[in-house]
Amino acid sequence: MIFNYFRKIDWALLAVTIVLVYIQVYLELEIPGYMANITTIMTTGGTGQDVLDEGVWMMGCALGSLISAVIVGLITAYIGTNMGKAMRKRQFENVETFSSAEINKFSIYSLITRSTNDVNQVQMAFIIGLMVMIRAPMMAVMALMKISTKNIGWVEVTLIALLVMIACIAVIIWFTFPRFKKIQWMNDDVNRITKEGLSGIRVIHAYNAEGYQEAKFSAANNKLTDTHVSVTRAMAFLAPTIMTVMSMLSLGIYWMGAIIISNAPTLQDRLTDFSDMIVFSSYAMQVIAAFMMLIIVFIVLPRALVSARRIDEVV
């Protein structure tokens, strides 16, 4: 549905975004390799110039990744803003052709919410989520390909951590999605009652109905607030869960690494295993960090999906 609002230039910019995200991920995954080289140089008696050479390449990768991320952010903001503009324009044009029955079906208050708040929800989710949704799976696949040649125990620990994260996110989305749908309809009710109070203020004063109108608004407002609180409480479990998974993953990697290093037959093998452990830990943390960024998307995605459906009903 979202891609129906894309222009040709938006499709071209989307392709550029995918390429830039790939470059960003590739450069970020090269950094642990240079870290391993520096560790090897320092443990084998290398010179300071050797360390400096590797450090320069590592800084170059970090700078290139930063530049790519900035460009991607600018492109996604441009695409998202134009998409929101197209959504509002198409809704306005369609509403002008509505019959009286169709206007009454949606109500004026609902149409206002759909062309403002709902569009903003979809636009924000797109801008935030585009880079993350491309980056996270790309980072996971490329990082797992790099670490798959290492000790299988480390790979298993990383996969278990990912499965736990995915399961937690799925449960929370399952719980919150219906409530996000209710929130949008509750917003319509609050807007409707507010407009009634403003447009009919003379009648309300004439019949001394201020108390009734205030009670009516308070009921709708409290209902909306309670739903928001229940959703926020559910989302609050995400961050500590992910942090716990990251901590346990680091502990598991270093625990298994200590066993592997202690069982190595020679000093050179121990140094190699130690370097591999450092590199693997960096790759594993990058995979988890990529999925942590998905948390932000999953916070706004359910509400954005509901808003997209509401917009689609109008257009």
Q: Which two tokens stand for residue 309?
A: 């459906």
Q: What pLDDT score was predicted for residue 72? A: 92
Q: What pLDDT score was predicted for residue 149? A: 67
Average pLDDT over residues 214-240: 83
User: How far apart (Å, rounded) are the C-alpha atoms in residues 70 and 72?
Assistant: 5
Q: How many distinct helices (H) and strands (E) make up the chain?
A: 10, 0
User: How far apart (Å, rounded) are the C-alpha atoms in residues 298 and 126?
Assistant: 12
Place of tokens 């409530």: 179
Average pLDDT over residues 134-155: 77
User: What is the length of the chain?
Assistant: 315
Q: How high is the mean pLDDT of the chain?
A: 81
User: How far apart (Å, rounded) are the C-alpha atoms in residues 68 and 30?
Assistant: 15
Packing angle, helices 152-199 and 210-235, rounded to 10: 170
CB 41 within 8 A of CB 275: no
User: How far apart (Å, rounded) are the C-alpha atoms in residues 63 and 52?
Assistant: 16
User: How far apart (Å, rounded) are the C-alpha atoms in residues 125 and 84?
Assistant: 11
- Which tens digit of pLDDT belongs to each residue from 163-173? 888 888 788 77
Is the pLDDT assigned to residue 271 strictly greater than 80?
A: no
Is the pLDDT assigned to residue 5 strictly greater than 90?
A: no
Q: What pLDDT score was predicted for residue 201? A: 79
- Which tens digit of pLDDT belongs to each residue from 56-97? 898 999 999 999 999 999 999 999 899 888 888 888 888 888
Query: Which domains does the chain carry?
Result: 86-314 (1.20.1560.10)
CB 147 within 8 A of CB 286: no
User: How far apart (Å, rounded) are the C-alpha atoms in residues 293 and 304?
Assistant: 17
Give the angle 69-75-78 at the CA atoms, nearest 5°: 140
Q: What pLDDT score was predicted for residue 218? A: 87
Higher pLDDT, 144 or 250: 250
Is the pLDDT assigned to residue 253 strictly greater than 90?
A: no
Give, in order, the Cα–Cα distances in Å from 5 to each of 54, 87, 113, 120, 174. 46, 7, 19, 15, 28
CB 35 within 8 A of CB 62: no
Is the pLDDT assigned to residue 228 strictly greater than 90?
A: no
Look up the pTM and report it: 0.73
The widest CA-to-CA distance across the chain, in whole angstroms, is 94
Q: What pLDDT score was predicted for residue 15? A: 92
User: How far apart (Å, rounded) are the C-alpha atoms in residues 104 and 54?
Assistant: 68
- Which tens digit of pLDDT belongs to each residue from 16-44? 999 999 999 899 888 887 877 787 777 77
Average pLDDT over residues 2-17: 86
Average pLDDT over residues 10-19: 92
CB 148 within 8 A of CB 159: no
Average pLDDT over residues 40-53: 76
Q: What pLDDT score was predicted for residue 78? A: 92
Q: What is the DSSP letter of 1?
A: -
Q: What pLDDT score was predicted for residue 64? A: 93
Place of tokens 């995954």: 29
Out of 133-142, 211-220, 288-297, least confident range: 288-297
What SS3 state is found at 263?
coil
Q: What is the DSSP letter of 3?
A: G
Residues 6+ apart with CB under 8 A from 16: 75
Q: What pLDDT score was predicted for residue 12? A: 93
